[in-house]
């Protein structure tokens, strides 16, 4: 395919240094992340929402000549006037003012070819940086499907930089992009560009460039409008939102069951093999009870976590999430936050750490602080294994709404709701007492609806599985091994002691008075301490403790819990995990983002009090 | 609805298109709104009002943007620029 790239490659520039960086920038929702995935194949979060790619992502590209190019995926920007933290990062890197990244040697400006007039407005600002720039008009497939067209050569001639019509989905034009990245960089040719930062002039210029490039605007997508009619309908909209949420929670239990059974039997079968292979020794005990029992009991929850992320990915990539934010705006507003806080809060359902960082997209500093303080109250995926274990052990499954909603899914939904309302209530407290501020104008771009691609969903799930298994292999493994040793000493007559007389046991008994008011015993108390490292560690801890206690094979963890905990105690434990800040990584990231220990300390204490008080109340009521 | 000098974006009914005249915000907010497409001279149409809360969704410079009523009220429209055309697109 002939493109404007070739015309530009004549003025070659040889570039020294082995790791050249090329920045990928552009407005939000132009498929930047898919484009990045296509080029590097590296795991990358694809978002269909402004401002979700908060962290810069770097992927390397091996070249045929053996060299290497670093590609930096920058957060979306709508202009050269950064307001939020992530936009600032983007502009800093492009200007070469970042402390952590060298100035890129070239830039790829990614624009949406289906909305060319509006997006060409970005060109003068980016070309004004003086970097060799390739302008990629993405979504060529959609442009064509909706009857639009553009003369790429004409655009290139007018802006003085190479232009490629491409599609990250179908792969059209990617060869030309690669050729650019391979090093044929030429600085932009001098052409008449409108005065940078005069937005009305830039708009006029962009419209005229589009007109002189025989740009044919594609037909508006009709089904997008129809979907909006349903999703934003005053009655149907909130009902659809509710139905979607219920479907997600129900499938976390129903769809995951066969997968979890498979993982569980794989672990117990392999434990049997190891048991048969190894002679009786302390090492065997460590491997079987400590590692296999502890880590295995956490890994079982991988299917549920992946199903949760599959749904989050579908909602985000399809564009539905922005509509949900519109529906949620009213409730966000009633607690004093803007609708935009909804996005970091939503990503905190995955994990509070990216959510705390995503709060950088909030322009108002007080709103940003309020958002990152309440983020750990929403139900992160690390709580899911704890909830799932306790619910399966204590809540009998009965249909509530026919086949659509069972008691277990309903309790899980209730726990998620409890976290959400605690977050909202706390936000309201914060905003009406310590963090009052004048509201900024609320503006939210609604991205076009798109079919989520299997590729981008797969990237997300692989990414999540890696993170989960890495945690299982590091934090959880280490705490499990340490705990196993504490539970195995001091030896009595050359034998490991009963767990109650071990070092772990005496630590547990020391703190027992503290957890007793919640209806919990010292074994659970040990779990509360170890799970400060990460919430799901408690499952591994209990797996280790109960695994070691059992003489005749290891009983299912659920049965062990049923005999140890009363119903009230189980509910109290659920409440404790719903509200306590049982995650040192979150404490660390809040310290980093707020620049001191003050806010994380307040946050930790507040959440602990909330957790203890609700746990105590729950035990009184249900115990 | 016919255009009068006091017309502002919040009074645009769904399906009606008009041209933006001015934005009454402090500089930083004004720039941000312009970057999102609310540029004097751009045509804007109201797509729908979301009755939950007080948001309205506008089509401007080829994108859909949700604004609160109070924000839309500070964007004035060119007099007599309104046309009724549900599928009007800018550009």
Over A548-572, what HEC string results?
HHCCCCCCCHHHHHHHHCCHHHHHH
- Within 10 angstroms of residue B6's Cβ, the number of other Cβ atoms is 9
- Within 10 angstroms of residue A466's Cβ, the number of other Cβ atoms is 11
Cα A134 to chain centroid distance, Å, stands at 30
Residues from chain B contacting residue A448 (CB–CB below 8 Å): 64
What are the backbone dihedrals phi and psi of residue A451, each rounded to the nearest 5 degrees, phi first?
-70, 125
Q: Which residues of chain A have pLDDT under 50?
A: 1-18, 43-54, 550-554
Q: Which residue in A203, A217, A234 is closest to B51 by CB distance?
A: A234
Instruction: Assess contact for A444 and B66: CB atoms under 8 A.
Output: yes
Residue in the block written with tokens 């946050």? A603
How far A79 CA lies from chain B's nearest CA (Å)? Answer: 6
* Interchain pair A327, B50: CB under 8 A: yes
Please indicate, yes or no, if residue A150 is contained in any of the structural domains. yes
Instruction: Assess contact for A156 and A7: CB atoms under 8 A.
Output: yes
A358, A557, A623 from A515: Cα distances, Å: 35, 20, 14
3-class DSSP assignment, residue A491: coil
pLDDT for the residue B58 = 95
Q: Which residues of A lie inside 8 Å of B (Cβ-Cβ)?
A: 78-79, 81, 83, 114-115, 117-119, 199-200, 203-204, 207, 210, 217, 220, 225, 228-229, 232, 234, 237-238, 326-327, 329-330, 333, 339, 440-446, 448
In terms of residue numbers, what domain contains A71?
Answer: 5-220
A71, A94, A106, A269 from A102: Cα distances, Å: 12, 9, 12, 51
Half-sphere exposure of A222 (CA within 13 A, CB side): 3
Q: From B36, which residue of chain A is nearest by alpha-carbon distance?
A: A78
Please indicate, yes or no, if residue A65 is contained in any of the structural domains. yes
Give helix then strand counts, H and E, for chain A.
30, 7
The CATH number of domain B9-84, selected from 3.40.50.300, 1.10.150.120, 2.40.160.20, 2.30.30.90: 2.30.30.90
Residues from chain A contacting residue B36 (CB–CB below 8 Å): 78, 443, 445
Q: Where are the alpha helices (DSSP H) in A255-301?
A: 256-277, 282-285, 294-299
- How far is A457 from A452, CA to CA, in rounded Å? 7
Give the closest residue to A16 by CA, choosing from A82, A105, A135: A105
Residues from chain A contacting residue B22 (CB–CB below 8 Å): none
- Predicted ipTM of the assembly: 0.86
Instruction: Name beta bridge partners: B17.
Output: B45, B83
List, in order, residues 6 or more apart from A378 with CB less than 8 Å away.
A345, A348, A349, A352, A355, A416, A419, A420, A423
How far B51 CA lies from chain A's nearest CA (Å)? Answer: 6
* Interchain pair A234, B31: CB under 8 A: no
pLDDT for the residue A42 = 54
DSSP A460-487: HHHHHHHHHHHHIIIIIHHHHHHHHHHH
Instruction: Assess contact for A524 and A386: CB atoms under 8 A.
Output: no
- How far is A231 from A213, CA to CA, in rounded Å? 36
Please indicate, yes or no, if residue A238 is contained in any of the structural domains. no
E strand or H helix at B72: helix B69-72
Please indicate, yes or no, if residue A279 is contained in any of the structural domains. no
Kindly report the CATH number assigned to the domain that includes residue A15: 3.40.50.300
pLDDT for the residue A48 = 31
Instruction: Assess contact for A349 and A309: CB atoms under 8 A.
Output: no
What value, to the nearest 5°, has the Cα angle with vertex A483 and ends A482 and A485? 65
What are the backbone dihedrals phi and psi of residue A568, each rounded to the nearest 5 degrees, phi first?
-60, -40
DSSP A115: G
Helix axes A256-277, A236-254, angle to 10 degrees: 20
pLDDT for the residue B55 = 87
Instruction: Assess contact for A159 and A127: CB atoms under 8 A.
Output: yes
Q: Which residue in A200, A203, A442 is closest to B68 by CB distance?
A: A442
Query: What are the sequence ranges of the domains in chain B?
Result: 9-84
For chain B positions 1-20, those within 8 Å of chain A (CB to CB) are none
- How far is A317 from A457, CA to CA, in rounded Å? 8
Question: Residue B65 above 90 pLDDT?
Answer: yes
Give the closest residue to A158 by CA, choosing from A203, A193, A113: A193
What value, to the nearest 5°, has the Cα angle with vertex B69 and ends B66 and B74? 105
What value, to the nearest 5°, has the Cα angle with vertex A155 and ends A219 and A179? 105
Instruction: Assess contact for B31 and A202: CB atoms under 8 A.
Output: no
Helix axes A537-549, A383-394, angle to 10 degrees: 50
List, in order, residues 6 or more apart from A366 with CB less than 8 Å away.
A431, A435, A436, A437
- How far is B29 from A360, CA to CA, in rounded Å? 17
CA distance between the termini of chain B: 22
Contact status of B35 with chain A (Cβ, < 8 Å): yes
pLDDT, average across residues B44-64: 87
* Interchain pair B66, A326: CB under 8 A: yes
- How far is A39 from B86, CA to CA, in rounded Å? 40
pLDDT for the residue A1 = 39
Give the closest residue to A369 by CA, choosing from A443, A441, A426: A426
Q: How many domains does chain A have?
A: 1
Instruction: Name beta bridge partners: A216.
Output: A149
pTM over 0.90: no
Please indicate, yes or no, if residue A617 is contained in any of the structural domains. no
Please indicate, yes or no, if residue A599 is contained in any of the structural domains. no
Q: Which residue in B34, B52, B68 is closest to A238 by CB distance?
A: B52
Cα B8 to chain centroid distance, Å, stands at 8
Question: Residue B3 above 70 pLDDT?
Answer: no
């Amino acid at each position: 395919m002939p493109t404007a790239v070739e015309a530009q490659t004549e003025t070659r520039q040889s570039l020294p240094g082995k790791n050249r960086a090329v920045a990928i920038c552009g407005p939000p929702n132009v498929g930047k992340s898919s484009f990045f995935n296509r080029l590097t194949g590296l795991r990358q979060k694809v978002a269909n929402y402004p401002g979700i790619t908060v962290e810069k992502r770097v992927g390397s590209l091996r070249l045929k000549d053996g060299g290497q190019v670093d590609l930096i995926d920058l957060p979306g920007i709508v202009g050269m006037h950064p307001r939020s933290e992530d936009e600032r990062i983007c502009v800093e890197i492009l200007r070469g003012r970042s402390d952590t990244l060298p100035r890129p040697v070239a830039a790829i400006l990614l624009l949406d070819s289906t909305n060319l007039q509006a997006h060409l407005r970005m060109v003068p600002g980016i070309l004004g940086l003086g970097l060799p720039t390739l302008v990629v008009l993405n979504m060529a497939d959609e442009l064509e499907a909706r009857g639009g067209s553009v003369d790429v050569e004409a655009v290139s001639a007018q802006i003085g930089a190479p232009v490629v019509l491409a599609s990250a989905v179908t792969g059209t034009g990617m060869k030309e992009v690669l050729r650019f990245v391979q090093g044929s960089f030429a600085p932009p040719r001098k052409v008449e560009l409108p005065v940078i930062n005069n937005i009305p002039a830039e708009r006029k210029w962009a419209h005229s460039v589009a007109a002189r490039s025989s740009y044919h605007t594609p037909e508006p997508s009709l089904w997008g409008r129809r979907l909006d009619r349903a999703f934003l309908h005053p009655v149907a909209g909130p009902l659809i939102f509710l139905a979607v949420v219920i479907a997600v929670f129900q499938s976390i239990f129903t769809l995951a069951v066969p997968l979890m059974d498979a993982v569980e039997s794989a672990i117990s079968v392999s434990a049997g093999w190891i048991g048969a292979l190894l002679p009786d020794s302390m090492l065997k005990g460590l491997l079987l009870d400590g590692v296999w029992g502890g880590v295995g009991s956490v890994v079982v929850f991988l299917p549920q976590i992946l199903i949760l992320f599959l749904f989050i990915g579908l909602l985000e990539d399809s564009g539905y999430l922005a509509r949900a934010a519109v529906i949620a705006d009213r409730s966000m507003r009633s607690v004093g936050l803007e609708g935009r806080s909804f996005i970091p809060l939503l990503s905190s359902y995955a994990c509070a750490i990216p959510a705390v960082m995503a709060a950088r997209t909030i322009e108002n500093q007080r709103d940003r602080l309020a958002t990152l303080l309440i983020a750990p109250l929403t139900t992160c995926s690390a709580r899911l294994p704890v909830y799932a274990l306790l619910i399966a052990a204590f809540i009998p499954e009965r249909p509530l709404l026919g086949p659509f909603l069972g008691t277990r899914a309903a309790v899980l939904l209730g726990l998620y709701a409890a976290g959400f309302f605690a977050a909202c209530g706390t936000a309201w407290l914060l905003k009406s007492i310590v963090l009052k501020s004048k509201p900024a104008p609320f503006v939210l771009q609604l991205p076009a609806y798109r079919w989520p691609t299997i590729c981008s969903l797969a990237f997300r799930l692989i990414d999540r599985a890696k993170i989960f298994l890495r945690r299982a292999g590091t934090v959880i493994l280490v705490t499990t091994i340490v705990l196993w040793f504490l539970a195995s000493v001091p030896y009595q007559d050359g034998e490991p002691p009963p767990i109650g007389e071990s070092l772990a046991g005496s630590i547990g008994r020391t703190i027992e008075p503290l957890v007793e008011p919640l209806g919990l015993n010292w074994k659970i108390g040990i779990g509360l301490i170890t799970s400060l490292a990460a919430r799901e560690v408690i499952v591994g801890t209990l797996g280790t403790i109960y695994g070691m206690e059992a003489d005749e094979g290891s009983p299912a963890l659920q049965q062990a819990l049923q005999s140890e905990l009363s119903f009230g105690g189980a509910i109290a434990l659920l409440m404790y995990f719903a509200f306590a800040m049982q995650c040192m990584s979150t404490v660390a990231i809040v310290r980093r983002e707020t620049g001191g220990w003050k806010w994380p300390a307040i946050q930790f204490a507040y959440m602990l009090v909330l957790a203890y008080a609700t746990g105590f109340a729950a035990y009184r009521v249900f115990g | 609805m016919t255009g009068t000098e006091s017309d502002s974006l919040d009074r645009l009914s769904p399906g009606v298109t008009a041209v933006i005249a001015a934005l009454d915000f402090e500089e930083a907010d004004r720039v941000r709104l312009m970057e999102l497409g609310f540029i004097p001279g751009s045509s804007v149409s109201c797509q729908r009002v979301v009755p939950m809360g007080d948001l309205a969704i506008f089509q401007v410079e080829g994108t859909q943007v949700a604004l609160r009523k109070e924000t839309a009220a500070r964007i004035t429209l060119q007099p007599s620029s309104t046309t009724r055309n549900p599928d009007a697109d800018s550009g």
